[in-house]
Amino acid sequence: MQGQLIERPKSDEVREYKMLIGGEWVDAQSGKTFETINPYTGRAWARVPEAGEEDVDRAVRAAREAFDEGPWGKMTGTERARLMRRLAELIAENADDIAVVESTDNGKLIREMGGQLNALPEWYYYFAGAADKIQGETIPSHNSNFFVYTRREPIGVVGAIVPWNSPLLLLTWKLAPALAAGCTFVAKTAEQTPASTFEFAKLFEEAGFPPGVFNVITGYGSTTGAPLVRHPGVDKVAFTGSTETGKQVMKDAADHLAKVTLELGGKSPNIVFEDADMEAAANGVVAGIFAATGQTCMAGSRLIVQESLHDELVERLTEKANSIKLGDPLDEETEMGPIAFKEQLDKVQGYINTGQEEGAQLKYGGKPPEAPELQDGFFMQPTILTNVDNEMTVAREEIFGPVLSVIPASSEEEIIRQANDTPYGLGAAVWTKDVQRAHRVAHALKAGTVWINAYRAVSFTAPFGGYKQSGIGRENGLESLKEYTQVKTVWVELSGETRDPFTLG
């Protein structure tokens, strides 16, 4: 659909963005800005304010004021839901244009972004539907003189820190439940991909939310992200990013005991048993590691395959990798776009080299493609490493790129052991036609999400989050509302009598 609010990027433009704080579009107080790069052309295409500590403070104050004093705090769930549905309509009207902006900023395929942005309104509809169903309980008291009930109240000001791989989707996983709960919000976008969130903020304004409910700032991790986490006015930090940064965020939040949800890295096993539907499994492996150029927290980066099937599956994957069409992310035909920024490309190449040094065999890919039209972009070939041992660096660390590590294994027991032998626990998949085995293995895997004969399915209705070092808390589903509310217990004395002041209860 075509809306009026979002302008598609033009080829030679460098557009200027401002931040939204307390309902006003503002520059950084220092006047500092930085450029954001189109990873397909390698050229700057937008310029954004670089927020410093003083801007963080201003944004948190605006959110605090909107929460404590503004009309938002007095609205009912039904009233908040009305605004959320209006926002959802505006997103739907402008989805195709925002998709182009996001794709220009992070190089993600328009093929995927179009779908993602067109699905985005559903998150706001779903959580709008939940906004007036956030309810407490009446609690039976041990003492008949008391009437006890709970209220589920909003946690307050949320500081959200989002990475570059799916900026608006990962923002929405936080924002939609936070709005339903009645929180106010400061979003810190990733420094590499701030543009689509600024565009989204226009829709938010247009929807008619009171000023200060949603504020957007951008800047670097240490000078914008960290001050936001440490700000005493932030009641809850919602973070998606690397495990390393997540640990730092949790430490910083601990200084003022802000609540945290952390959606972190993964090294997710994609397990193929010998009785699997081979073609479906091969497609699932491609979806798990080459879709989105492997830049997803849930990437199925370890293929654990039963030995008897190994050679045949690897051959099929190699053929599939060979046929993947690399190119312009804005071209609907393209299947793999560039890596989002140069440093990330260098990092991916480094891992591929390390893998080979440690004894993995390069079966396919392993370097940037040679096609002349791909030389400006940050491209990497889809890469398959075989003979990987679970102890190797490429099997232990999150690469966040299109690099598949193939680990052969024998029995079901051995496969489960290998799959769980990782510090992470975000996703996992099991490919088999044996329904008993499918559930048995799904139950044994230590991961927040297990797909059976599928990969990379997510929904607003279904909780998503990590076991072990993949995170804390859950996003999506009614489960996520708990992360943005807190319980207040109210005691009402019914008898009207005076009580002995020196007893409890």
Residues of the shown chain interacting with ligand NAI in the complex, contacts defined by CB under 6 A: 161-165, 188, 190-191, 220-222, 225-226, 229, 240-242, 245, 248-249, 264-265, 297, 344, 347, 398, 400
- 90-122 exposure pattern, b = at least 16 Cβ within 10 A, e = fewer: bbbbbbbbbbbbbbbbbbbbbbbbbebbbbbbb
- Which of ligand NAI, Mg ion, none does 151 bind, CB closer than 5 to 8 A by kind? none
Contact 176, 460 (CB under 8 A): yes
CB of 240 to Mg ion, least distance (A): 13
C-beta separation of 404 from 255 below 8 A: no
Residue among 328 and 398 whose Cβ is closer to ligand NAI: 398
**What is the closest distance, in whole angstroms, from the C-beta atom of residue 469 to ligand NAI in the complex?**
11
Q: Which C-beta is closer to Mg ion: that of 150 or that of 223?
A: 223
CB of 245 to Mg ion, least distance (A): 6
Closer residue to ligand NAI in complex, CB, 400/431: 400
Report whether 430 contacts 271 (CB < 8 A). yes
Q: Would you say 40 or 341 has its CB closer to Mg ion? A: 341
Query: How many residues sit in the footprint of Mg ion (CB under 5 A)?
Result: 1
Partner from ligand NAI, Mg ion, none binding residue 265, C-beta < 5-8 Å depending on class = ligand NAI
Residue 225 interaction partner, one of Mg ion, ligand NAI, none, beta carbon < 5-8 Å per kind: ligand NAI
Whole-number minimum distance, CB 479 to Mg ion, in Å? 28
Backbone angles phi, psi at 17, to 5 degrees: -115, 155
Is 397 considered catalytic here?
no
Cα angle for residues 344, 383, 364 (degrees, 5° grid): 150
Strands 449-452 and 138-139: unpaired
Pairing of strands 427-431, 214-218: unpaired
Minimum CB separation from ligand NAI for residue 343, in Å? 8
d(CA 202, CA 405): 42
Output the six-digit token pair for 123: 């998150």
- Selection from 108, 454, 38 nearest residue 293 by Cα: 108
Q: Tell me, residue by residue from 190 to 229, as one string, x for binding to Mg ion by CB under 5 A and - for no binding.
A: -------------------------------x--------
Q: Which is nearer to ligand NAI, 17 or 164 (CB)?
A: 164
Question: What pairing do the DSSP bridges indicate for beta strands 138-139 and 146-154?
Answer: antiparallel
Q: Are 184 and 77 in contact (CB under 8 A)?
A: no
In whole angstroms, the minimum distance from the beta carbon of 385 to ligand NAI comes to 17
Interatomic CA distance for residues 350 and 358, integer angstroms: 12
173/254 Cα distance (integer angstroms): 23
CA 425 to chain centre: 15
Smaller CB separation from Mg ion, 73 or 221: 221
Is the CB of residue 485 less than 8 Å from the CB of residue 155? yes
Which partner in Mg ion, ligand NAI, none is near 114 (CB below 5 to 8 A by kind)?
A: none
Partner in contact with 470, chosen from ligand NAI, Mg ion, none, beta carbon below 5 to 8 Å by kind:
none
| Shortest separation between residue 467's beta carbon and Mg ion, angstroms | 24
Rg (CA), the chain: 24
C-alpha span between 413 and 403 (Å, rounded): 26
Q: What residue is closest to Mg ion based on CB? A: 221
- Among residues 19, 250, 260, the alpha carbon closest in space to that of 155 is found at 260
Could you say which of ligand NAI, Mg ion, none residue 406 binds, taking C-beta under 5 to 8 angstroms by partner kind? none
DSSP state, residue 145: T
Q: How far is the CB of 470 from ligand NAI (least distance, A)?
A: 8
Q: Among residues 263, 398, 475, 483, which one is catalytic?
A: 263
Alpha helices in 342-466 (DSSP H): 342-357, 393-396, 412-420, 435-444
268 vs 485 by CB, closer to ligand NAI: 268
Residues β-bridged to residue 405: 302, 385
CB of 92 or CB of 162, closer to ligand NAI = 162
Which residues are identified as catalytic?
A: 263
Under the rule (CB under 5 A), what is the footprint of Mg ion?
221
